[in-house]
Copies of this chain bind each other. A is one copy, B any other.
């Protein structure tokens, strides 16, 4: 990061009038918005009508912070020169009483952070220039409205927030001014702002200034230059505002980027009926369909569209939805302007070769393009656009693959409401389908409550009038978001789209009483906080009660199939699934898994149908001696074998790694007195004896205790039983004409000798099973988890015996950091907040520490045994960054939950594009 400014460094880049000294390649320096404004204005293929302006670089922002929030000395000259150029192009002069130029000041980071930073519009207005504006526009009402908007924003953004003073009266100046506005409307008996007269607005300007002076202790600055510098400083300051920092943390964006500032001549969509403002996408961002899509409002400022206060009109037929189907389209009302806009959007998509999200304003019949950027899209749309653009020949295969964020696939795989259940139910409300998938959860009305209940393990749906950046945390924790107001481009829609989260917006009839904790729907249903509701994010329908949520079928999704076809041609890394049942295994195959990477034998003792095996396991665990233990294992054998056999049968021809019993035995014994008494009765022993045995199993640090291979070494009969079950199951399947490929995996090892001990047992049982079933051979592999740091270090000797390594990166992370995953709640949030860790290492593999152990183990293992098979089966196996790392260090495969297999596959393909293996 350049933090010091050189004397010859350009701090300000200009654009407009068919020219610019910046371009889209300069995103890091000019921010996304600034770079695109320069590109649109200056690129010979485009030269679109962009209001002239200039961009102050991100380097300037960093220098500003480095200097303790002071502007670099040479900034002023460059800003003044750039301002003069705007004045030349517009024929207006900033601060001039007769031809006043009005400016906007907006943030613009390298990557869009919607609504997270501040903006000030209408800069340049004061008691004198407002007269000039009236003279220019002949619209005093408009001029005073613009003036009162400036005061409101400026007081909020510059005078209160950027100055860092506490919110006045505890609620902030903006709310205070809003309340005053509302009180005037109430006094006049008005509903809408637009009903306010020129006189009202003139008075409001006077009132606002008085309130600002009284509450903040400083007057609103009349000096236009003071306003401009105040605005620029406020944008810089908002880079480190609470909301922006929170957003960067969630999105994993670095603090060092800084923001650019875009200063631009104002154009107005709210100067009358021949004015409008809108937002459009070159393709449908919700479905990916190749149709121009957008919404606009007549006589409005851009923020009105995004804020969702009025229902916007569709720009064309393709943009109509259930709410707007009866509204007039821009195409109908202003056909020439629409044709021009449509022409521009085609130019833009062809130029950028990606879907563009653009903002436009029509000022007195003249179209301006205010912004273009690569449009956010949900997963469904991302996949469709990538596949179709590839098929259209606009982009090549690798580009198509890189266009989809692997995590976005979640959406396509997202559970949906059960169709049968949905058909049987009547929706209580209907809104706009802003986010994909289906969801159910308890209704909550505040961000705080959403976080609280979620952390208590509840599924929640956040229900809000409309959402604002303050709600981000709650939205993040909620399973879905439901808003009463807002359109498809509202805050709620944008944010949830980015996350691939179920969302319904603009659910008009919803009457939310946050204070008393309920909402009512148009049909009179009353839903209290904590009541379950279900949402269909694809149709916008809201149901009362908790509805079953089911998986989707990808077979019909042509775009998905096209994309995954490219994935399979491209990727090198194998992708397996963690699966412990025939259903899981079938699911895994459906999602494209190439094998089972982790079958946990202990799984059969959990959940439905586990009563009898669990009872036998407990009997085994609480045995007094080896003889009793052998007897219990003998009874258990059939269950274990049948469990394994069923999954091996499904995987027919594909390998399945079966991990021998791992958890400390203590996990399986009942801990409450009653269950223990029952067990004692069943086992016909005194409960006090059982209590003693349970107590003897207790450990201070069970994660580092008597588990994994340590069980197999202490109780060889446990290994024997499991190995016999695996080999018999495999041999029988082979005899039945199927192909079983079991891989026997020893957990929690730390030395070669442990493997040698267990290998002896396996070889011995192998001979016995071959003999007893009369077969010559049973194909199998013998290998180990690498999940202790020592195992990673000693992987050379271990590979003398192990034919494969599977990295258990969960445990490896626990032991490398010394973090108990169950106990990190006490400090990890602070670590993330302070930036001591960038990611939760249990979510994203720590490449520098844990990753080094993995890399080193692969290297040493392969040096010992060149054909050593390596994979990972920790939860990182389905996390794209971690998958990319696994590709880079040359693992053979990753294994993850079936549901994440497509994500891992795409991530693997992207890794292969970015890091081709030799």
Contacts and interface: CB of A to CB of B under 8 A. Distances in A.
A622 to B, nearest CB: 15
Interface string A812-828: 00111111101100110
A787 B818 contact: yes
Contacts of A754: 836
B700 A702 contact: yes
Nearest to A826: B706
Contacts of A814: 704
B704 A820 contact: yes
A348 to B, nearest CB: 42
Contact of A793 (B705, B836, B853): B853
Nearest to A814: B704
A709 to B, nearest CB: 9
Contact of A823 (B701, B787, B790, B817): B701
A703 to B, nearest CB: 4
A850 interface: yes
Interface in A680-737: 699-706, 710, 713-714
B817 A790 contact: yes
A849 interface: yes
A747 B753 CA distance: 32
A811 interface: yes
Nearest to A831: B713
B835 A753 contact: yes
Contacts of A788: 816-818
Contact of A703 (B704, B706, B852): B704
A789 B853 contact: yes
Interface in A341-377: none
B790 A834 contact: no
A831 B848 CA distance: 32
A915 to B, nearest CB: 22
Interface size class for chain A? 35 or more
B837 A704 contact: no
A705 B710 CA distance: 23
A865 interface: no
A336 interface: no
A748 interface: yes
A794 B703 contact: no
A830 interface: yes
A757 interface: yes
Nearest to A819: B704
A827 B794 CA distance: 20
A580 interface: no
A714 B834 CA distance: 10
Interface in A743-770: 748, 750-751, 753-754, 757
A328 B214 CA distance: 117
A456 to B, nearest CB: 14
A846 interface: yes
Contact of A820 (B700, B817, B848, B849): B700
A706 B834 CA distance: 16
B704 A823 contact: yes
Interface of A: 699-706, 710, 713-714, 748, 750-751, 753-754, 757, 787-790, 793-794, 811, 814-820, 822-823, 826-827, 830-831, 834-837, 846, 848-850, 852-853
7 contacts: A699-B823, A703-B704, A706-B823, A753-B836, A753-B837, A788-B818, A790-B849
